[in-house]
């Protein structure tokens, strides 16, 4: 199988699995939102903020080195595994210790036992991190997709069952622990490797040298996206935290559907191209073209249709989250593009500057959030988003330096989809305005379909190069011995402006 076909097949499996997973997740979230209410989600958001941060530190940190190394010896794998086990156990212990002070900070006693109940997910993720990294390195995305779907189904069954039985907020904790547990079991079932006791201090040193930078990056990213929930919960109360939580969850799911499958495949693919000495920059540009083609119209549409989307999916009581969702849609667009850019830096092992920029975003976002608290939840959300947009050009410059490109070349890739998405947004607004007196479902379905048709027509006339990239991935049958990305930039020339 050629590299292009392997890449396309991986994206297809991750897309199918991700879309099925998130469709099920949406349905489960809608049921739980109707059963449990706004305040329950707000309390969970307070408890889960630190837990999710710790989970992410374990999930996408030290094990990332397994995607960049040329060879994987048993000692290297063992070293990574046992470091992660120790790291996960230590972080779970810190969650237990910090649970009461965090509950005191919020003024919500129920937060402490919730943190304790959620903390087992951390060592579960640590135990499964190496098997997941091996599946990603080998581009076995079918197994990863099936694992994700089974996990969300199992978690949903437990969560809804507990909610119907009157467990309240504990049903959300049960859902999460079950989902992570099933994911871990299925990851181990999909690989033949098993850990041993032979480790190498040389390998441990290499892992720690790489790991402290990426842990710094992941910590900054998680603090940045979880801090709004913490500050909102502490200053504006659980109801406002619940509204922000549901809007953030909608954006998170949308970004997952739009680009996570592509990003998850891109990282090992870029690493493989770099290991083979082929043209990883060309692959980066193609991935960015595809990302812009999908992300701009998706989040423009979500911003305009936020209110009918929330009321149809979660009920009328969540309509107050619509302004927050519209503003967060801008952050969703940023997140999709930035995460894809980040994969190139990770594949190249160049994460130091990224970590520094991420912590600068943390400082600026916290400052702007506190300054905007007196003006209400939409203002807080806007302050949070602005912090990332202000520093975004520096991320473009960092990526350009690593990829040996000009920052302007990377930025110009997004000009055309931006303007076409703006035209599409205007059309969707006119359609939804004409249907304002009808039901939310009609507005949502009609607005979505009209946006899809309008943007597809615009893309056919103005973004044919991107459509050609998609077509080339699907149909490419170049032998694996002749990598497509060895000479792609030379044959394409300087067509980076679109």
- Taking CA atoms, 435 is separated from 73, 426, 431, 439, 448, in Å, by 62, 14, 7, 8, 13
Q: Which pLDDT does position 305 carry in this prediction? A: 92
Is residue 497 scored above 80 in pLDDT?
Answer: no
Q: Where are the alpha helices (DSSP H) in 348-463?
A: 352-372, 377-403, 407-412, 415-434, 440-462
pLDDT at 378 over 50: yes
Is residue 3 scored above 70 in pLDDT?
no
In the chain, % of residues over pLDDT 70: 87
Give the model confidence (pLDDT) of 265-295 as tens digits. Answer: 777 777 777 777 767 888 888 888 888 998 9
Is residue 379 packed enough to be buried (19+ CB in 10 Å), middle (13-18) or exposed (0-12)?
middle
Higher pLDDT: 480 or 413? It is 413
Least confident of 175-179, 223-227, 447-451: 223-227
Cβ 148 vs Cβ 142: under 8 Å:
no
Contacts of 326 (CB under 8 A, 6+ apart): 302, 303, 304, 306
Q: What was the pLDDT predicted at 186?
A: 92
Instruction: Please tell me which residue, 324 or 34, carries the higher pLDDT value.
Output: 324
pLDDT of residue 495: 42
- Whether 362 shows a pLDDT value over 60: the answer reads yes
Whether 477 has a pLDDT exceeding 50, the answer reads no
What pLDDT shows up at residue 48? 79
What is the reported pLDDT for 493?
39
On the 0-12 / 13-18 / 19+ scale of CB atoms within 10 A, 409 is: middle
Please report the pLDDT score of residue 453 as a whole number. 94
Q: What is the pLDDT of residues 80-126, one digit of tens each?
A: 888 888 988 998 999 999 889 988 888 888 888 989 989 999 999 99
Q: Give the up-direction half-sphere exposure of residue 143: CA atoms within 13 A in the CB hemisphere.
A: 18
All structural domains of the chain with their residue ranges: 238-354+404-490
Find the mean pLDDT for residues 213-229: 79
Band of the pLDDT at 487, cuts 50, 70, 90? very low
Q: Share the mean pLDDT of the chain.
A: 83
Q: Tell me how far apart the alpha carbons of residues 468 and 290 are, in angstroms, rounded to a whole number.
A: 10
The band of 440, judged by pLDDT with boundaries at 50, 70 and 90, is confident
What per-residue confidence (pLDDT) applies to 481?
A: 38
Model confidence at 383, pLDDT cuts 50, 70, 90, reads very high
Buried-state track 19-58, b at ≥16 Cβ within 10 A, e below 16: ebbbebbbebbebbbebbbbebbbbbbbbbbbbbbbbbbb
pLDDT for 327: 95
pLDDT at res. 427: 93
Q: What is the mean pLDDT of the segment spanning 7-21?
A: 69
Burial of 195 (0-12, 13-18, 19+ CB in 10 A): middle
pLDDT at 227 (0 to 100): 83
Query: In whole angstroms, what separates CA 364 from the centre of its chain?
Result: 21
């Amino acid at each position: 199988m050629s590299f292009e076909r392997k890449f396309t097949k991986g994206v297809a499996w991750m897309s199918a699995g991700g879309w099925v997973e998130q469709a099920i997740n949406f349905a489960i979230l809608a049921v739980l939102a109707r059963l449990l209410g706004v305040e329950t989600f707000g309390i969970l958001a307070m408890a889960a903020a630190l837990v999710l941060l710790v989970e992410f530190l374990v999930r996408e940190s030290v094990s990332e080195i397994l995607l960049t190394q040329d060879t994987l010896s048993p000692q290297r794998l063992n070293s990574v595994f046992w470091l992660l086990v120790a790291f996960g156990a230590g972080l779970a212990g810190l969650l237990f210790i910090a649970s009461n002070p965090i509950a005191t900070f919020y003024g919500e006693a129920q937060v402490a036992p919730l943190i304790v109940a959620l903390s087992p997910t951390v060592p579960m993720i640590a135990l499964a991190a190496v098997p997941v990294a091996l599946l990603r390195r080998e581009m076995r995305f079918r197994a990863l997709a099936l694992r994700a779907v089974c996990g969300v189904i199992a978690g949903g069954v437990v969560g809804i069952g507990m909610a119907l039985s009157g467990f309240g907020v504990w049903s959300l904790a049960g859902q999460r622990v079950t989902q992570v547990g099933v994911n871990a079991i299925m990851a181990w079932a999909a690989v033949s490797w098993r850990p041993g006791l032979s480790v190498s201090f040389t390998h441990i040193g290499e892992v720690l040298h790489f790991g402290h930078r990426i842990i710094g990056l992941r910590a900054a990213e998680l603090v940045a996206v979880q801090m709004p929930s913490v500050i909102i919960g502490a200053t504006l109360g659980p109801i406002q935290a619940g509204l922000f939580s549901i809007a953030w969850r909608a954006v998170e799911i949308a970004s997952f559907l739009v680009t996570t499958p592509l990003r998850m495949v891109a990282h090992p693919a870029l690493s493989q191209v770099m290991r083979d000495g082929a043209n990883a920059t060309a692959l980066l540009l193609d991935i960015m073209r595809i990302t812009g083609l999908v992300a701009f119209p998706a989040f423009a549409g979500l911003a305009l249709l936020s209110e009918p989307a929330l009321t149809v999916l979660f009920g009328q009581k969540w309509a107050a989250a619509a302004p927050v969702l519209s503003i967060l849609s801008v952050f969703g667009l940023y997140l999709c593009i930035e995460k894809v850019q980040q994969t190139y830096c990770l594949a190249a092992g160049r994460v130091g500057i990224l970590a520094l920029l991420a912590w600068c975003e943390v400082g600026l976002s916290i400052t702007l959030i506190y300054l905007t608290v007196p003006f209400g939840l939409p203002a807080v959300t806007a302050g949070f988003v602005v912090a990332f947009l202000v520093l975004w050009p520096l991320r473009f410059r960092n990526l350009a330096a690593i990829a040996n490109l000009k920052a302007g070349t990377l930025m110009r890739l997004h000009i055309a989809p931006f303007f076409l998405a703006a035209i599409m947004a205007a059309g969707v607004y006119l359609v939804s305005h004409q249907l304002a007196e009808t039901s939310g479902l009609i507005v949502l379905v009609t607005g979505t379909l009209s946006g899809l048709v309008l943007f597809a027509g615009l893309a056919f006339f103005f973004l044919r190069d991107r459509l050609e990239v998609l077509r080339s991935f699907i149909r490419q049958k170049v032998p694996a011995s002749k990598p497509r990305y060895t000479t792609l930039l030379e044959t394409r020339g300087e067509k980076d402006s679109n």
